[in-house]
Structure 1
Amino acid sequence: MSSKVALITGTSSGIGLETAVAAARAGWTTVATLRDPDRAGALRAAADRAGVPLDVRRLDVTDPASVTAAIEGVVADHGRLDALINNAGAGHVGTIENETVEDVRRVMEVNFFGVVQTTKAAMPHLRAAGGRLITVTSVGGVIGQPFNEAYCAAKFAVEGFMESLAPVAARLGVTVSVVEPGAVATDFVDNIGLDVTKVIAAAGDYAEPLQGYVERTLGQFANSAQTPEQAAATVVEALTTERPPFRLQTSEWARDFTGTKLADHDGSAVLALTGGYLG
C-alpha cells in the first residue's frame, strides 16, 4: 500500500486536513494540497502528532496552470497517481435577488469547475493506475436548502457530473465515489465570512426567513455536527474499501436526510422539510 499515491485538495483545515492524516496513517503516500502553503501550519502539526509523513504542495483549483503543475509534479516525483480526492470548496449563503450573477459564478468556479479541472488533469493517471476518484460533496448536493442556492447548485452539478462519469470511468478501470457530509464542526462555517447581523439587516423582505434559517443552522452546527475526524473516516473508507459504493454519507443523520430526497418522487417531502427551516 505504501507505493500507492493519493492527492487531496483543500487540506488546510477540517475534513481535508483529517483525510490527509488518515490516508497517510492507512499507508498511502499522501500529497496534501492547499491554495496557500503558508496556511499549512495546522496540517503539518497534525501530521507530526500522528507521526505520519505528508507531501505538502500548492494547488489552487481555480487556476488551471496550478492544477496541471501540481498533478504533473506528483506523477514526476512519485511515478504514479492512484487516487484523487476532491475536497476543496467554499461555502456561501445568499439568495439571488440580493446578490449578483457574478457572486453565483464565483461559487460555481470553486465548487464545481475546480472539481472538473482537477478531475480532467488526473484522469489519465488514474486510468493508468486503475485508481479512484473521490469527491467530497454535501447533503446539499442532494437536497437544495434555503439561502444556499448557489452552493447547492454547485454541489448538485458535482453530483450529476460524477454520477454521469462513474459508469464510463468504471469501463476504463477507475472507481468513482462521492462522499456526502452533513454538518461538520470545522472552520467551514466561519470561512464563509458571514456577518449575520449585517446580512440580515440588509436582507429587506428576506430578513425574516433568513433569520429563521440562520437560527436553525447555527443550532444544528452547535448541537449535532460531526467531528472532522468522523467525516474523514468515510472518505478514507471510499479510498481503502475493495468495492466502495458510488454514494457514501458520513453519518446516520446524513443518510436519513438524503434518503428523504431519494425516496421523494414528486418533491413534496423535500419542500415540506426545507420550508420548515424558515421559522
Structure 2
Amino acid sequence: MAKVILITGTSTGIGLETAVQLAEQGHQVYATMRDLNKRSLLDTEVEKRNVKLNIRQLDVQDEKSIHTCISEIISNESRIDVLINNAGAGFIKPMEQASMEEIQQVMDVNFYGPIRCCKAVMPYMRNQKSGHIINVSSVGGIVGSPVNEIYCAAKFALEGLSESLATYLEPYFGINISLIEPGGTITEFGNSLTEYFESTGGILNDDYKPLMETYMGYRATFTDEFKEKAFQKPSDIAAVIIGCMNDPHPKVRYLTSEGTLAFTKLKTSLDPDGELLKAQVRKGILNK
C-alpha cells in the first residue's frame, strides 16, 4: 500500500537517495529542503531514474515553513503516514572554542528541528490513529567523540527524545518512533565539516593545537579508497530507513551496519534495537 511520506533534507546524500528509492516503490513522497535553489541534484536523479515525487520548501528552523508544507500535504492527501526527520548539520570544534551562536545553531538544526516537525505532524497522526516517525540520528548519538561534542550532544538529545516518545505514542496513539543510526557514510557531510572548521579560523588556541592536529590527522586517513571499503553509501542507509518503515513491528533503533554495531557494542550489546528497554519502561510505568 502506498504511503504519504514527508522527508526533510533531500538536496543531497541520504535524504536524496531515500526520497528517490521511496518514489521508486510507488509511495507519495514529499521531498523537502531549506533552499530550493539546491534541488538540481535531486531533479537530475528523479529524471535519470524516471520517478515522480513532490519537491517542496521546508526549513526545519522555521515553524511557518513547516506548517505551510504540512498544510499543503494534508490538503492534497488528507493524511501523513511517515515523517522522516533527516535534515541535520555536523560540527567539528572543541566546546570551549565554539561560540554560543554556533552551539545554538547545531542544537537547533539537529534537535529542535525534528521537534518542530514532530509537533506539526503528530496531531494528524493521532487523529488517524497511525503513523511512523523516523529520526535519522548517528552513532554519535550513542558514543561521544572528541571535538564532536556539540554534534553528539544534539544527537544524544534526539535519542533521548525518541526513546521517551516510543514508550507511549504507539500504545496510546498508534504512532511508532524509530531511530536510524549510521556511522561513516560517503557524502559531502564530512568535507563540509572540515571546510567550515578551516573557514572559521581553524585552531584558535595553541593549547588545543596538539589535540586538533591529532584529530585532523585522523580525518586525513579517510581517503576515497578507505571510504569505499569502510563507509556506507547513501543508498545503503536509505535501504535501512525503508526497511524500518516497512517493518511490521518497528524497532526503536536501527544501527545501519556491522561496523556501527561494533562501534557501539559497549553500550548497545544487551539491547541493540532498544526493544527490551522500551518494554521494561512501558511495563514499569504504564502497565503496557
The alignment's TM-score, normalised by the length of structure 2, stands at: 0.87
CA 1:129–1:32: 2 relative to 1, 3 Å: farther
Q: Equivalent residue for 1:170?
A: 170
Q: Give the Cα separation in 2 of the matches to 1:218 and 1:176.
A: 36
CA 1:52–1:213: 2 relative to 1, 3 Å: same
**Structure 2 residue identity aligned to 1:186:** T
Contact 2:10–2:87 (8 Å) recurs in 1: yes
Contact 1:80–1:129 (8 Å) recurs in 2: no
**RMSD (Å) for aligned C-alpha atoms:** 1.7
Q: Equivalent residue for 1:144?
A: 144
Q: Give the Cα separation in 2 of the matches to 1:254 and 1:137.
A: 12
Identity %: 39
Q: Equivalent residue for 1:233?
A: 239
Q: Any gaps of 5 or more consecutive residues in structure 2?
A: 271-288
Q: Equivalent residue for 1:49?
A: 48
Q: Note the C-alpha offset of 1:217.
A: 2.9
Q: Note the C-alpha offset of 1:163.
A: 0.3
Tell me the alpha carbon deviations over residues 234-276 of structure 1, each in whole angstroms, 9 at most, x when there is no partner. Answer: 1111111211211001111011112222359xxxxxxxxxxxx
Counterpart pick for 1:206 among 205, 208, 217:
208
Q: Equivalent residue for 1:23?
A: 22
Tell me the secondary structure at the aligned position of residue 226 of structure 1: coil
Which range moves more in the overlay, 224-233 or 28-37?
A: 224-233
CA 1:67–1:87: 2 relative to 1, 3 Å: same
Contact 2:9–2:88 (8 Å) recurs in 1: yes
Residues 1-279 of structure 1: matches in 2 within 5 Å? 1-2=1-2, 4-127=3-126, 128=128, 130-171=130-171, 172-192=173-193, 193-196=195-198, 199-220=201-222, 222=224, 223=226, 224-263=230-269
Q: Give the Cα separation in 2 of the matches to 1:211 and 1:79.
A: 53
Q: How many residues align?
A: 263
Tell me the secondary structure at the aligned position of residue 57 of structure 1: strand
**Structure 2 residue identity aligned to 1:183:** G
Q: Give the Cα separation in 2 of the matches to 1:47 and 1:129.
A: 32
Q: Note the C-alpha offset of 1:201.
A: 4.2
Q: Give the Cα separation in 2 of the matches to 1:197 and 1:69.
A: 34
Q: Any gaps of 5 or more consecutive residues in structure 1?
A: 265-279
Q: Give the Cα separation in 2 of the matches to 1:56 and 1:129.
A: 27
CA 1:227–1:203: 2 relative to 1, 3 Å: farther
Contact 1:184–1:221 (8 Å) recurs in 2: no
Tell me the secondary structure at the aligned position of residue 23 of structure 2: helix
Tell me the alpha carbon deviations over residues 117-160 of structure 1, each in whole angstroms, 9 at most, x when there is no partner. Answer: 00000112223151110010000000010001110000000000
**Structure 1 residue identity aligned to 2:146:** P
**Structure 2 residue identity aligned to 1:210:** M
Q: Note the C-alpha offset of 1:202.
A: 2.8
Q: Give the Cα separation in 2 of the matches to 1:232 and 1:180.
A: 12
Contact 1:31–1:57 (8 Å) recurs in 2: yes
Structure 1 runs (4+) deviating above 6 angstroms are none
